[in-house]
Structure 1
Amino acid sequence: MSKEKLLYPFYILTHPMDGFYEVRHREKGSVPLSLLILLLFSISFSINKRYAGFVVNDINPLSVNSFQDFKGIFALFFLFCVANWSITCLVEGEGRLKDIVTVVGYATLPLVLAYIPATLFSQIIAENEEAFYYLVLGIAIAWFLLLIFIGIMTVHNFTFGKMIGTLICTFIAMLIIIFIILLIMTLIQQVYTFFESIYTELLFRV
């Protein structure tokens, strides 16, 4: 991977519209790099849960499961990407699935850059200074959401109004996908239980 592609997510931080346009039309993005950024976010998020100072953190460090955090973040990431892609295919969005994955992955960079410094800062703040900690994370989250909004709108070539409608439909699609997955898992479990009961009964009869 070239140095230009490695540094490109930092360019997008301050030039999101131009940057995401280049991702869609000039292949400036990288799906592996997007997934790497997401992995770094999952690590920094887990570190924050485990090691943030007691002033801002009431989670028992022993209860933190980094692997569960990793699975949850990646599951939500792919759920959003697939749901958005399925909706935008119906409304003539120009972005491909890999463009959506790249946009969402690159958009998490502000969170990566904020969580570790915020965790370190939380170790030295007093009880009445936690507002600075939440300010850092709040700015990072707002930046992340803004980048996703601009990125999705740019790669699909949507207007502001169409983008709002598409996001609403995306969240509905996410709920539908979750429902279908749960339904399939329930059916599989019922089928497994049925065959297991038949097998058990045959054993007793023999």
Structure 2
Amino acid sequence: MKSKKTLIGLMTSVTFLVFATPLMVNADTDSSTQSNNQVPQIVIENVDNSLVSTVDVLDSSESAVFDPTILPVSGAVQTIKDKNGAVSNISLTPLFNPRTRVSNGSYTINAWGIGWNVTYYINISSNKITSANNLDYIIAMPVNSATVTVDSSKQATARFSFSTPIYNILSWTGWVRATINSSNNIVITTN
């Protein structure tokens, strides 16, 4: 278990260095070239300024929606921005056959932002979440408790409780939640 957390920590650090070092935000100030329905993007470029990829920044109440029928074998990543401007990345990766509908399959859920990274797995059978397990996390603050549970047949949540390190004056709970919606898509939300 310790080697797995070390590996996750190493992978998080490498991912952060790969994506954060050459990160440039495409902030076109000429509003005449932008339409009202255009989604802002984060543009990731190499040091030689060649385009690596673009990721849409969604403003969707801290949720990312994945359609398993079009999910690539390598998974997909969505970047969301909450009402306070905090940016989080959420990925969903199929563990087995990526062409099966959400009705059956296993998936890795990974969500991360500045100072935190959470990963867990869900198993789905007949459009129902049957299990959630293998919670791994790196959070840059003291965590009082961490659990991953199946809340209902359509929802699984990784929960974390925090408190201030001195006298436990303030406490709060954060979570990364996977839900199967009415369209059988997987919706991942954070708090």
**Greater share of strand residues, 1 or 2?**
2
Larger radius of gyration: 1
Q: Give the TM-score of the pair, scaled to structure 1.
A: 0.26
The normalised TM-score by structure 2 is: 0.27
